[in-house]
Amino acid sequence: MFIRCLGLGAAFLTVVSLNARQADQAASAEKQRTAAQQEKDPTQKHKTDTAVADLLGGPKLDPAAVERGRKVFVPTCGFCHGNDAHGKSGPDLVRSALVLHDKGGDTIGPIIRNGRPDRGMPAFSSLTSEQIADISTFLHSRAGDVSNRFAYKIGNIITGNPQKGSAFFNGAGHCDSCHSPTGDLAHIAGKYDAVELQRRMLYPVPNVIDALMGKAVKPSAPTNVTVTLASGNKVSGTLDHLDEFNVSLHDSEGWYHSYPRDQVQVDVKDPRAAHEALLPKYTDEDMHNVLAYLETLK
């Protein structure tokens, strides 16, 4: 029982480790889906921002004030600070400590009205207190967008060469030894968006992030193992746990077996092993090329 508990604990830590590596990919896929929803329904962005503010304890921003502030900021300040407030010839205001501590224009108001002649910033004395407060709200919304990893859209990640991707798939990557573009990968690009497809290509394990969000998650294929005993007898089944000290499994009849590693030979057939082995070998170009090739499998 003690060995069993150790095995379960180690298996849990293994899952946590794998999901730490895939967290960014899972979050990226969620960003893409959220961005698509927001394009169809602009109110989705406000709903997302409000949900994140509730979760993190951040301020809830009035979307009308954000839009009013944007309309004042872009023609008045955008030529210097950029229309997205990330800076141009002037500094980035999204990460400005002065802006982050501002409340309704109490710190940025005097600067806007009086300008900073020594730094080339003109005065905008005609702006009202209400307009400055709206600018402040707009800037806080931009800071919120940066901190909210689900609120912004991912750029185009299909930048590779599909012909080179096909050559890698059928050559150095040996992907064709397990997968077929007319078999298990047929129409794969139509099933997943590019971000999710890339995640599955790099980390083909169940997406725990989706599971925690209540979405249906298809379990991964089991890992099979054969243990050869000192007597020469073999025991095969589904791997439960494997480390440098022990190996445990359930056989086809459901019986549980556990053995010290130094007393047996272990042969593991893990369908994910080839993907994990490729991770340290991939170049950026290889990854982009293979993704571009997979995107042709509509």
* Mean pLDDT across 236-255: 93
Sign of the torsion angle spanned by Cα atoms 161, 297, 215, 222: negative
Lowest mean per-residue pLDDT among 74-83, 151-160, 179-188, 197-206:
151-160
Among all chains, which residue has been given the structure tokens 């007597």? Answer: 231
The pLDDT tens digits for 20-61 are: 444 444 444 554 555 555 455 544 555 555 554 554 445 678
Top-confidence residue, 24 or 249: 249
Say if pTM beats, i.e. exceeds, 0.85: no
Provide the pLDDT for residue 37. Answer: 52
Buried b (16+ CB within 10 A) or exposed e, 90-129: bbebbebeebeebebbebbbebbeeeeeeeebeebeebee
H or E stretch covering 136: helix 129-147
Instruction: State the fold for domain 43-147.
Output: Cytochrome Bc1 Complex; Chain D, domain 2 (1.10.760)
Residue range(s) occupied by CATH 1.10.760.10 in the chain: 43-147
CA angle 191, 194, 195 (to 5 degrees): 115
Q: How far apart are the first and last CA of the chain?
A: 49
- In the predicted structure, residue 133 carries a pLDDT above the cut 50: yes
The pLDDT tens digits for 187-242 are: 999 988 888 888 888 877 666 656 665 565 566 678 899 999 999 999 999 999 99
Residue range(s) occupied by CATH 2.30.30 in the chain: 224-270
pLDDT confidence band for 277 (50 / 70 / 90): confident
Lowest mean per-residue pLDDT among 4-18, 27-41, 127-141, 197-211:
4-18
Of the CA atoms within 13 Å of residue 133, those in its CB half-sphere come to: 8
Provide the pLDDT for residue 192. Answer: 87
Lowest mean per-residue pLDDT among 5-19, 24-38, 228-242, 247-261:
5-19
Residue 93 vs residues 88, 130, 155, 271: alpha-carbon distances, Å: 10, 19, 22, 48
Top-confidence residue, 143 or 55: 143
User: Alpha-carbon distance 168 to 293, whole Å?
Assistant: 10
Q: Which of 286, 36, 34, 291 is CA-nearest to residue 188?
A: 291
Q: Which of 258, 238, 193, 224 is CA-nearest to residue 30?
A: 193
Instruction: State the fold for domain 224-270.
Output: SH3 type barrels. (2.30.30)
Q: Which of 20, 55, 48 is CA-nearest to residue 207?
A: 20
DSSP state of 263: G
Contact predicate 80/86, CB 8 Å? no
Q: Which of 91, 190, 178 is CA-nearest to residue 139?
A: 91
User: Alpha-carbon distance 137 to 90, whole Å?
Assistant: 20
